Amino acid sequence: MATILRDWSYRYQWLYDGISGFAALSVGGETRFRQLALQGLTINSETKILDLCCGSGQATQFLVKFSQNVTGLDASPLSLKRAQQNVPSAAYVEAFAENMPFTDCEFDVVHTSVALHEMQSEQLRKIITEVYRVLKPGGVFTVVDFHAPTNPLFWPGVSLFLLLFETETAWELLKTDLAGLLAETGFEVGEPKLYAGGSLQVIQGRK
Ligand SMILES: C[S@@+](CC[C@H](N)C(=O)[O-])C[C@H]1O[C@@H](n2cnc3c(N)ncnc32)[C@H](O)[C@@H]1O
């Protein structure tokens, strides 16, 4: 599945940012979208935050407004090079999310934005376990990602988006109880908050 548009969106950052900015209109725009998962958290300049699968720094640029202690991790050297240029005040690490080069209990917050839908199911479980490991006790894992729309009017738009830009792992995520997976790993987690006709979920899990 997916089309050439997926490759282009990763090759040309302006295309990725344009599409994500357009999609973010469904929740009131990019600024609101990027902060949805942080609602209710106490973050200060010392809060140690990991932006997991940070891409070119699309969420990182908002995280550095709250904390001076932000690290972005991604597996793509090209994305990290762009992130370094776009948001130089963060630190960056090239690694796989399922095997992070961090010690146990290092971060107060791990944030991941529209990335978990790219993972195979076993990989997703490993990543959640890794996030649990690197979070301090009481630390929070914040996730924003796709969810199966609860409003039928959103299905055509979401389906078209997934067909054009995503692979089968995104369709799998729609059928996955992500909050349940966090709970199985040991996180204290409530019901996901849904936005954009239910097509977007926000989860906060506390270690
Ligand atoms: C759709 S982008 C999301 C980028 C950004 N977080 C955002 O909010 O726009 C997904 C990112 O996940 C990264 N990624 C995919 N699989 C990964 C893995 N196993 N470990 C680390 N990064 C991964 C990709 O390189 C890509 O930059």
Q: What pLDDT score was predicted for residue 19?
A: 82
CATH classification at residue 171: 3.40.50.150
pLDDT at 1 > cutoff 70: no
* Enclosing H/E stretch for 10: helix 4-11
Residues 48 and 155: their CA atoms lie apart, in Å, by 37
Contacts of 169 (CB under 8 A, 6+ apart): 117, 118, 119, 120
pLDDT at 117 > cutoff 90: yes
Q: What φ, ψ does residue 107 adopt, rounded to 5°?
A: -115, 150
Please answer whether residues 21 and 27 qualify as being in contact, where contact means their C-beta atoms are separated by less than 8 angstroms: no
Token couple for 50: 């990991």
Q: Is 113 in the pocket of ligand 1 (CB under 6 A)?
A: yes
Q: Is 169 in the pocket of ligand 1 (CB under 6 A)?
A: no
Q: Catalogue the long-range contacts made by 22-28 (C-beta closer than 8 Å, 24 or more residues apart).
A: 23/161, 26/195, 26/196, 26/197, 26/199, 26/200, 27/195, 27/196, 27/200
Number of structural domains found in the chain: 1
* Domain limits for position 146: 4-206
pLDDT at 74 > cutoff 90: yes
Confidence band (pLDDT; 50, 70, 90) for 163? confident
Q: Catalogue the long-range contacts made by 85-94 (C-beta closer than 8 Å, 24 or more residues apart).
A: 86/56, 86/57, 86/60, 86/61, 87/57, 87/60, 87/61, 89/64, 90/51, 90/54, 90/57, 90/60, 90/63, 90/64, 92/54
Q: What pLDDT score was predicted for residue 32?
A: 93
DSSP 169: H
- Ligand 1 centre from 115 Cα, in Å? 5
Please answer whether residues 14 and 34 qualify as being in contact, where contact means their C-beta atoms are separated by less than 8 angstroms: no
Please write the tens of the pLDDT for every residue from 48-60.
999 999 999 999 9
Q: What pLDDT score was predicted for residue 176?
A: 97
Beta-bridge partner residues of 120 = none
Name the 3-class secondary structure at 50. Answer: strand
pLDDT at 2 > cutoff 80: no
- Ligand 1 centre from 37 Cα, in Å? 17
Q: Is 79 in the pocket of ligand 1 (CB under 6 A)?
A: yes
- Ligand 1 centre from 151 Cα, in Å? 27
Closest Cα to atom 27 of ligand 1? 55
pLDDT at 175 > cutoff 90: yes
Closest Cα to atom 4 of ligand 1? 55
Higher pLDDT, 131 or 15: 131
Burial 130-151 (b: 16+ CB within 10 A, else e): bbbebbeeebbbbbbbbbbbee
Q: What pLDDT score was predicted for residue 192?
A: 96
Instruction: Please name which of 151, 150, 145 lies closest in space to residue 20, comparing C-alpha atoms.
Output: 145
H runs (alpha helix) in 135-177: 155-165, 168-174
